[in-house]
Amino acid sequence: MKVALTGIKPTGIPHIGNYLGAIKPALELAQTCEARYFIADYHALNSCKDPAAIRAMTLEIAAAWLASGLDPNKALFYKQSLVPQTFELLTMLLAFTPKGLMNRAHAYKAILQANSESGRDPDDGVNMGLFTYPVLMAADILLFDTDLVPVGNDQFQHVEMAVDIAQSFNFTYGQECFRLPQPIATQHSKTLLGLDGRKMSKSYGNTIPMFAPEKELRKLVMRIVTNSQGVDEPKDPATCTIFSLYRNFASPEQVENLRRRYLAGGMGWGHAKQELFEVMNAALAPLRERYAELMSAPEEISRILETGSAQASELAARKIKELRAVIGMD
Ligand code: TRP
């Protein structure tokens, strides 16, 4: 069985775009692969130095993935900071990473550009953790003989860098110390639309949080921007934000049915929104309940992460032992 692994940055509570576009597809891989998911907490340290925030975000994001269906009995679920072998591998890999490779990272280049555009020093706010981010990510991946890395398109370059670093290491010692990973896109072919009809994104402030309470969910759905067509006019499903969200939560029969009523006319926007709210609420209510349950027992979340991390650490220790022998440090 192939090994699939992905890192989860501890950020705020995911929105339904994150759920449908990243969490759900990554979790589906557990059906066909040996799956590994981890909270990438050391990656968050580069930008967040507030211990309470790190703790809170770690718990929230862990609860969000568990509530979304991550089964810690089937997949390995751990916290990066509890697998210290990651950081020994990072040190090894740094010696195989040309500085020029890091200079070419899109994420780093974007920061340099933003700095120069606003007249700051190019390296303003760039710490070495941020600069070497792709190497830590390579360590996360290579430590577990990963075949597949489900990520958003913005992370492809980082996985490709992990391949470059692994190849350089393998070539140096003339043996296949590392399996070469392959990025696979989790994103939907169609991006999820937000309340204002643009792509759903935190930076647009047009998101629907995954665990919004029922009343808030209804309020948000009612705020979706529509055109000024009257009730009687036939509506075009292809250009409608309500419809595009509906198809992600309804059954194929329900989608067909709504499509017919759109085209026939006589269907007002308020009515369509009500139906969208109902299918969304039916799909999200069990997740919302499970999330609340988990968050009311944070020690249980920590226990799950500790158990998974102990297992991950055991696997990782074996790998590190092999690698130390290869480099002459046994
Ligand atoms: N960089 C990824 C992100 O920003 C998170 C991540 C860290 C990751 N380590 C990883 C993803 C290893 C896949 C594999 O989303």
3-class DSSP state of 135: helix
Distance 273 CA to ligand 1 centre (A): 35
How far apart, in whole angstroms, are the C-alpha atoms of residue 203 and residue 207?
9
Distance 295 CA to ligand 1 centre (A): 24
Strand partners, 3: 34
What's the pLDDT tens digit per position in 179-190?
999 999 987 657
Strand partners, 5: 36
Distance 134 CA to ligand 1 centre (A): 9
Nearest to 240 by CA among 271, 286, 282: 271
Residue identifier of the C-alpha nearest atom 10 of ligand 1 = 7
pLDDT confidence of 191, banded at 50, 70, 90?
confident
What's the pLDDT tens digit per position in 224-276?
999 999 999 999 999 999 999 999 999 999 999 999 999 999 999 999 999 99
Q: List pocket residues of ligand 1, CB cut-off 6 Å.
A: 5-7, 9, 40, 43, 137, 140-141, 149, 151, 155, 158
Q: What are phi and psi of 79, to 5 degrees?
A: -110, 125
What's the pLDDT tens digit per position in 39-72?
999 999 999 999 999 999 999 999 999 999 999 9
Residue identifier of the C-alpha nearest atom 5 of ligand 1 = 7
Give the CA-trace dihedral at 151, 186, 311, 72, to 10 degrees: 150
pLDDT of residue 188: 64
- Domains, in order of start, for the chain: 3-97+132-191+298-327 (3.40.50.620), 211-291 (1.10.240.10)
Atom of ligand 1 nearest to the CA of 5: 14
Strand partners, 39: 8, 79
Distance 137 CA to ligand 1 centre (A): 6
| Average pLDDT of the chain to the nearest whole number | 96
Distance 151 CA to ligand 1 centre (A): 7
What's the pLDDT tens digit per position in 111-121?
999 999 999 99
DSSP secondary structure code for residue 60 in this structure: H
AA letter at 219: K
Residue identifier of the C-alpha nearest atom 1 of ligand 1 = 155
DSSP secondary structure code for residue 21 in this structure: I
How far apart, in whole angstroms, are the C-alpha atoms of residue 277 and residue 270?
10
Mean pLDDT of 92-115: 96
Q: Are 34 and 2 in contact (CB under 8 A)?
A: yes
Distance 92 CA to ligand 1 centre (A): 19
pLDDT of residue 189: 59
Atom of ligand 1 nearest to the CA of 133: 1
Residues 6+ apart with CB under 8 A from 83: 38, 143, 309, 312, 313, 316
**Percent of the chain at pLDDT above 90?**
97
